[in-house]
């Protein structure tokens, strides 16, 4: 069985249609309502998702970990991370899980730079390329993309990954964990839909850079 884990914070205007688009492809869905103060929980339930709730906003990484642990307890074979702001394409989930089902990868990371439809703003593209370089230096994993929230894990891989970062640094920490446990990783092309809504929901480029630098500095002074 496969499960799609969707972290969501104040996504009431998007989550219903997002969950329905995933469930229409016969995937099970668990939404983690990360302390939203809108109708995210109600809309996700109305769409047919299992909903887990944080009573306070704990952060992106904490929401994913709650979903991960729930999926492991319920013995799902493949666990997919899928953003709650509508940037990802549900039709591409099958491409994410295929390498795991075929036994050639333990973890699959989506890459917007392997897609022919990459339309990333130039500033964000530069920052991501720096993040890719730092990931290679510190984790010895060479990727084409970094901080992409579209991921898939085998049950065995997710069981050994132990992330403690509650916020956006989770995206860097999970790559470290993949390297530490010598898991087989594969990138597949995905498309990212940049809308005014998703841009407004996302962190600023400067904040993203500071989050990444903070995590990397923590690795240096260990």
Query: Which CATH number do you get for residue 27?
Result: 3.90.550.10
CA distance 183 to 21: 30
CA distance 133 to 153: 23
The answer to whether 194 and 119 are in contact (CB under 8 A) is yes
Domain of residue 178: give its range: 2-220
* pLDDT tens column, 166-216: 988 898 899 899 999 999 999 999 998 876 665 565 554 455 555 555 655
The answer to whether 166 and 35 are in contact (CB under 8 A) is no
Average pLDDT over residues 78-88: 96
Classify strands 107-111 and 50-54 as parallel, antiparallel or unpaired: unpaired
The answer to whether 37 and 17 are in contact (CB under 8 A) is no
pLDDT at site 205: 46
Q: How many domains does the chain have?
A: 1
What pTM was estimated for this model as a whole?
0.86
Classify strands 28-34 and 185-189 as parallel, antiparallel or unpaired: unpaired
CA distance 193 to 37: 25
Strand order in the sheet with 185-189: 50-54, 28-34, 2-8, 78-81, 151-154, 107-111, 185-189
Residue with tokens 């640094």: 169
CB atoms inside a 10 Å sphere around CB 150: 25
- 85-89, 130-134, 145-149: least confidently modelled range: 130-134
């Amino acid at each position: 069985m496969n499960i799609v884990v969707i972290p969501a914070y104040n996504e009431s205007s998007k989550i219903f249609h997002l969950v329905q688009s995933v469930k229409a492809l016969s995937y099970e869905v668990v939404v983690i309502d990360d302390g939203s103060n809108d109708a995210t929980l109600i809309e996700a339930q109305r769409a047919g998702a299992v909903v887990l709730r944080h009573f306070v906003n704990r952060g992106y990484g904490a929401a994913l970990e709650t979903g991960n642990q729930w999926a492991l307890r319920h013995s799902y074979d493949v666990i997919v991370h899928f953003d709650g702001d509508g940037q990802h394409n549900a039709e591409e989930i099958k491409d994410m899980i295929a390498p795991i089902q075929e036994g050639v990868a333990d973890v699959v990371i989506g890459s917007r730079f392997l897609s022919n439809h990459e339309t990333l703003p130039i500033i964000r593209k530069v920052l991501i390329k720096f993040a890719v370089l730092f990931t290679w230096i510190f984790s010895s994993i060479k990727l084409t993309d970094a901080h992409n929230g579209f991921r898939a894990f085998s049950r065995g891989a997710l069981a050994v990954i132990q992330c403690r970062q509650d916020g956006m640094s989770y995206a860097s920490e999970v790559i470290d964990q993949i390297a530490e446990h010598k898991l087989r990783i594969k990138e597949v092309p995905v498309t990212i839909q940049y809308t005014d809504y998703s841009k407004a929901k996302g962190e600023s480029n400067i904040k993203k850079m500071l989050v990444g630098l903070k995590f990397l500095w923590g690795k240096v002074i260990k």
